[in-house]
């Protein structure tokens, strides 16, 4: 539908007469005169009663357009001169081409979606991809863009406009809240610094573009894979990044699989092992005995890389006050956070505890 409307906008720039496209009920789907759209053409019944593909009224010429064997559209031009039929035939071919391309694009999107979900036979992917002019050899990066359902269609269109060059990226809709962007990642293959910069720029551009248009978006970045055939892994990694960042980092706007750190490891641990680990590190629910002020102190201490002076400055407390609070932690948990090994163990245990809370929360299990 949108393609046909765009076609009419372009026709308007080159034709002196108004023209339009009707569906098989006589409703005007698109017109160079936009005010007529959605109205019923008054001459439609008379046109349909004729057996000829062309029909004329006092001020219009009509042409019936078949797609395959089926009547799909009736197009008209507000003219009855000698060139009217020629113009209608040209518009007809234009519309047929658009419909064919639309069908091909839809089939291509289904194929890519199946490859992402690992639903295609691997040995058949190169042959099918060749038919859609997809180069399987170039490295790829999959990014998952999550938006509210009511903004999904708008986000999809914005991203399609952002990546109008299909050689750079492919944009497909995955479901009513998810849009997938598959980017040619050739630039990332030279060195780690180039890869990091490329990923930051690409994910940042998507987020800024959507946010500037009022879309509330989250972007999850998968791993770079060496070919199109492996995009299912990049997609799976991006989905993992989305889930893990939700658990451990809260509402972060951009999550990267290669930056998940300990969270990526903990996410793969079975629940019984997590529970056993917490009992060993925090016997008698020692963590629950820490008050909110102490927990805030611990978080700030970790955020400042165990630097006592920076932590005291950020919390606006005397260094002795910080030492006192850390001693309280040691008394309750047996862990001295000023010692690296104890700090690592405490950090891991709190993250494992966060993960078990997530597993116990049925609402959070709705994350896809």
CATH class of residue range 269-366:
mainly alpha
Residues in the chain: 368
The helix or strand, by DSSP H or E, that contains position 218, with its residue range, turns out to be strand 218-225
- Would you say 84 and 61 are in contact if contact means Cβ atoms under 8 Å apart? yes
According to the model, what pLDDT value does residue 102 have?
Answer: 64
What is the predicted pLDDT for the residue at 60? 94
The C-alpha atoms of residue 300 and residue 294 are separated, in whole angstroms, by 10
- Domain boundaries, given as residue ranges, for the chain: 2-92, 138-264, 269-366
Q: In the beta sheet, which residues pair with residue 169?
A: 183
Check if 2-92 and 269-366 are the same fold: no
Long-range Cβ contacts of 171-178 (<8 Å, 24+ apart): 172/109, 172/112, 172/113, 173/109, 174/113, 174/116, 174/144, 176/149, 176/152, 177/146, 177/147, 177/148, 177/149, 177/152, 178/144, 178/145, 178/146, 178/152, 178/368
- Is 15 in contact with 32 (CB distance < 8 Å)? yes
Residues 182 and 163: their CA atoms lie apart, in Å, by: 10
Do 244 and 267 meet the contact criterion of CB atoms below 8 Å apart? yes
Query: The domain 2-92 belongs to what CATH superfamily?
Result: PAS domain (3.30.450.20)
Relative orientation angle of helices 340-360 and 292-303, to the nearest 10 degrees: 120
User: pLDDT tens, position by position, for the chain (368 residues)?
Assistant: 677 888 888 888 888 899 999 999 999 999 999 999 999 999 999 999 988 999 999 899 999 998 877 888 999 999 999 899 999 999 999 888 877 766 677 888 899 999 999 999 999 999 888 888 888 988 999 999 999 999 999 999 999 989 876 568 999 999 999 999 999 988 777 778 888 899 999 999 999 999 999 999 999 999 999 999 999 999 999 999 999 999 998 768 999 999 999 999 999 999 999 999 999 999 988 999 999 999 999 999 999 999 999 999 999 999 999 999 999 999 999 999 999 999 999 999 999 999 999 898 854 444 44
The C-alpha atoms of residue 58 and residue 324 are separated, in whole angstroms, by 95
Q: Which fold has domain 138-264?
A: Alpha-Beta Plaits (3.30.70)
């Amino acid at each position: 539908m949108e393609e046909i409307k765009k076609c009419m906008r372009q026709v308007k720039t080159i034709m002196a007469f108004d023209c339009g496209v009707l569906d098989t009920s006589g409703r005007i789907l698109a017109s160079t005169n936009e005010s007529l759209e959605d109205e019923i053409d008054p001459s439609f019944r008379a046109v349909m009663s004729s057996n000829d593909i062309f029909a004329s009224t006092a001020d219009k010429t009509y042409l019936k357009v078949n797609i395959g064997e089926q009547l799909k559209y009736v197009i008209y031009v507000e003219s009855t001169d000698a060139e009217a039929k020629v113009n209608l035939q040209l518009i007809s071919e234009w519309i047929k081409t658009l419909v064919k391309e639309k069908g091909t694009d839809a089939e291509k999107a289904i194929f890519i979606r199946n490859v992402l979900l690992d639903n295609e036979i691997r040995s058949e992917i190169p042959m099918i991809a060749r038919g859609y002019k997809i180069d399987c050899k170039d490295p790829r990066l999959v990014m998952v863009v999550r938006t509210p359902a009511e903004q999904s269609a708008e986000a999809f269109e914005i991203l399609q406009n952002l990546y109008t060059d299909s050689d750079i990226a492919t944009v497909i809709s995955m479901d009513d809240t998810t849009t997938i962007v598959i980017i040619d990642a050739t630039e990332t293959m030279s060195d780690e610094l180039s890869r990091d910069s490329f990923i930051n720029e690409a994910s940042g551009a998507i987020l800024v573009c959507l946010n500037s248009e009022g879309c509330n978006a989250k972007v999850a970045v998968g791993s770079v894979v060496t070919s199109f055939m492996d995009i299912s892994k990049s997609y799976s990694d991006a989905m993992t990044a989305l889930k893990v960042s939700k658990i451990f980092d809260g509402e972060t706007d951009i999550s990267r699989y290669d930056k998940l750190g300990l969270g990526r490891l903990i996410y793969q641990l079975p629940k019984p092992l997590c529970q056993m680990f917490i009992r060993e590190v925090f016997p008698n629910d020692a963590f629950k005995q820490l008050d909110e002020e102490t927990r805030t102190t611990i978080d700030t201490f970790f955020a400042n890389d165990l630097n006592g002076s920076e932590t005291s400055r950020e919390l606006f407390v005397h260094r002795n006050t910080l030492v006192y609070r850390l001693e309280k932690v040691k008394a309750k948990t047996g862990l001295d956070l000023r010692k690296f090994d104890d700090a690592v163990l405490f950090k891991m245990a709190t993250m494992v505890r966060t993960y078990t809370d997530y597993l116990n929360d049925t609402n959070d299990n709705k994350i896809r």
